[in-house]
Structure formats: C-alpha cells, structure tokens
Homo-oligomer: A and B are copies of this chain.
Amino acid sequence: MFKNRDVISILDFSREELERIFELAREMEAHGKKKINLLEGKILATAFFEPSTRTKLSFETAMLRLGGSVIGFSEVSGTSLAKGENLADTIRMLDAYSDIIVMRHSIEGAAKLASEVASVPVINAGDGSRNHPTQAMLDLYTIWRELGSIDGQSVALLGDLRYGRAATSLIYGLTKFNVKRIYLISPPLLRPRQEIMDFLKKQAVEIKEGENLGEVIGEIDVLYATRIQKERFPDPSEYEKVRGSYRIDLEVLEKAKDGLIIMHPLPKVDEIDLRVDSTKFARYFKQAAYGVPVRMAIISLLLGAGGD
C-alpha cells in the first residue's frame, strides 16, 4: 500500500491512507523523543534546491529518531547544479547513495520528474506553489489530534492562498474529508488561483470567500493563517492598507468559538500578535512539533518498516 511509493501530492492519497498515516504517527508520538531503531542503517538524502529550516530539520529529526542517517545539501551554490548539471543527473546520484530522497525545488513538477528518475522513494518537500504533501499531512493530523476528527469542522484559511504551497496543499487535503465548510479569507490579489477554485467546485465541499477575518471568526473551528509577503503587492501602500484585515490579535479572538484552534505552517512574522501565542487557541507550535511523528510515519511506511 505504501512501500516504495513516492509522495508527490496530497491528492495521491486516499482518506483511508491518510488515516493509516495518522494512526502510525500517533504511535510514533507516543515514543516521545526516544529513538526507535526501525530504520537502522538506512540513509535519507535531503535535496533542498530551495532553502528551508523547519521542514529540513523536521525530516532529519524524523530519520534520526527512526535510527537512520542523513546526507544531503541545502543550497545550490556549491553543488554540481551550480556547475550546470541537470536535475535528473543530480537525482540519479542521490538515488545511488541513499534509501529515500526528500526534495524541495522552486519549480512545479520537479519532484514528479525526480520520482521518475529515482528507484528509491521520493518525498516532495515542496515544489512550485501547489504541492507540499507532508505539510498537508501534518496539518490534517493536527486537526485530527486536536479536535478528534476532521469531518464536520469549519476551516478558515487566511492570508496568501495564491502562492503559498502549504495553504493550497491543505485545501486539497481537506477535500478528502467531510468538512462542514471551507472559508477562504484573503486579499483579492491573493485569492486561490482559478484552477483551485475549479477543483473545489467539483468537490462536494461548501466554500465561503471573504476579505475579513472578523466577519467569520465566530463560525469557525480551525483558523489556518499564512504569511503574506509584502513583495506580492505591486504597491507597498496596497499591502499596508489590507494587512490589518488578516492579522490575528486578541481583539478579533474575542468573538471566537471556545474550541477554536489557530494553526500556521510557520515561520510567522507579524500576522499573529505575539500575545496570541499564550492563548488556548494557539496550536502552531504543537503543529510544528507534530511534523516529526508524521514524517516518521510516512518515511517508515515508504521504506516498508511501518507495516502495510
């Protein structure tokens, strides 16, 4: 079911498969920070053509806790790619050296291409602006763990829903479950692209679009915030104008449901007031920590060490 598969898009996984991953992640979580020697002697290669700290260290930690080792690179300067090597050749090298490849790339489709070249499993740790499947898995896992179920929840995605691959991947992932409603709250410039909206229309999922968090905060169970990059706006003053409507502070939370959870793929900058960190709503640090057991689960399943 999982052995030797690649992880390119969250859309490639069924609800049942995602739940299998969640169950195993739950078991991994129970070990705390203790090492379990499931993958002793295995090598995970990280190929980060685009920089990352959180995702890369999370995968490395997952592999080390499973008893394996890590090789890899995290920037293109100093690699053979800087000398003009094509992606396929770089992947062939890692394929020879490692048992599993985790890859991030700026270009959409790079992970798919890599998976066709490599004989070992390839995990897409983000390529282009749509797919970051293990982020979606850990996001879904966070809802599942914190609220007991994904079905029936009202989930709002806030901020940059156009360029952020975490938001798009989560939207994809949510359609595998029976959520009550998905709220898309973003400035007009950062609306999800048409293809995403078309995809959502084909699913049996209720969508509500808006531009103001305050108007919907009382209706939602999950608030998934993302970073808005100033650079997305042609005119900086445009950004300053809208910015307040997408900021989460204590004031807007006054109208929140009691059981609301706030998530964020991190890093966050100033889209969440620091005082929110210590409220009962904040789950983004826990969410980041869940990245390790979820990735332990998926790595061990792909390497045939997590049952089938």
Contacts and interface: CB of A to CB of B under 8 A. Distances in A.
Interface of A: 33-35, 40-43, 45, 51-54, 57-58, 60-61, 64-65, 69, 71-75, 77-86, 89-90, 92-94, 96-99, 227, 266-269, 274, 285, 288-289, 292
A288 B92 contact: yes
Given A53-B79, A75-B78, 18 more contacts: A34-B41, A43-B61, A45-B57, A51-B77, A52-B80, A54-B80, A57-B97, A61-B71, A61-B97, A64-B69, A74-B78, A80-B266, A84-B269, A85-B268, A89-B267, A89-B268, A96-B285, A96-B288
B73 A57 contact: yes
Contacts of A86: 274
**Which of A45, A69, A268 neighbours the largest number of chain B CB atoms within 10 Å of its CB?**
A69
Q: Which 10 residue pairs of A and B lie closest in terms of their CB atoms, listed nearest first? A: A35-B41, A51-B78, A85-B267, A96-B289, A80-B267, A61-B97, A84-B269, A53-B79, A53-B80, A64-B69
A133 B86 CA distance: 26
Contact of A97 (B35, B40, B58, B79): B58
A34 B40 CA distance: 10
Contacts of A269: 83-85
A35 B266 CA distance: 36
A286 to B, nearest CB: 9
Contacts of A57: 45, 71-73, 93-94, 97
A83 B267 contact: yes
Contacts of A45: 57
26 contacts: A35-B40, A41-B65, A43-B64, A51-B78, A51-B82, A53-B78, A53-B80, A53-B81, A53-B90, A54-B80, A57-B72, A57-B93, A57-B94, A57-B97, A61-B98, A80-B266, A83-B267, A84-B269, A85-B266, A85-B268, A85-B269, A89-B267, A90-B267, A93-B266, A93-B288, A96-B292
A64 B71 contact: yes
Nearest to A37: B41
